Amino acid sequence: MKKTILSTLIFAPTFAMAAGLMQNPPTITDTDGDGYISYEEITTQVEAHKLAQTTQLIAEGADKDGDGSISREERKSYFELSAIAAGADANGDGSLSRDERRDYMMTQAIAAGVDINGDGDISRDEMRAARQAKRAEFEAQFDIDGDGTLSEQESTGLAQHKAERKENREAKGGRHGEGEGPKGGHGSRDGKGHGERGGEGRRGHGG
């Protein structure tokens, strides 16, 4: 029997990850027309994309404390309220239960085409395939000459961008791993590795 991954979408990071699968990746172009997209061009356009998203969320009232940015909790609240407005609050109590959140995300994921085999369920393989498809869609933009492959020159900026993202993820993981939250960081069973639980690990204390 296939294991449903969306049934576990009850924490903000995972909820946001699934929501991200339903959004288009940022549009990246060769702005200076030199035949490839540099790291600087990627950074500028990705930051502009993030700013546009933040501006939109602020305009829609997501910035509850009015500090001009969207925190993780504000983003979670925004997604929750959007889901409720879309009819996800089946029992009408003004909040989303685990089951209501699961059902809403399942519906949205299926509508976005994540349910590849059409069985009404989302497996880990289907979730992985959806993420890979989004990544491929983003990376295809770097094939400036359209030959179906990335030359060394075309891939250099992308490689730098990936390296930076990896460093940022590891830095965030290290900081979260020192905390005590239920999902923080990348702690392992002894609190020192890179498992899912983070925080204090399952038995350790974040390394």
pLDDT tens, residue by residue, 176-202: 444 444 444 444 444 444 444 444 444
**Is the per-residue pLDDT at 130 higher than 90?**
no
Rounded Cα distance, 177 and 184, in Å:
6
Confidence of residue 146 (pLDDT cuts 50, 70, 90): very high
Structure tokens at 129: 């395939």
Average pLDDT over residues 158-167: 92
Single out the residue of 12, 27, 25 nearest to residue 130, CA to CA.
25
**DSSP 8-state class, residue 3:** P
Tell me the one-letter amino acid at 140: A
H/E element, 43: helix 39-59
What is the model's pLDDT at position 206? 44
pLDDT averaged over the chain? 77
> Cα-Cα-Cα-Cα dihedral of 144, 116, 81, 102, to 10°?
-140
Angle between helices 72-85 and 98-111 (to 10 degrees): 80
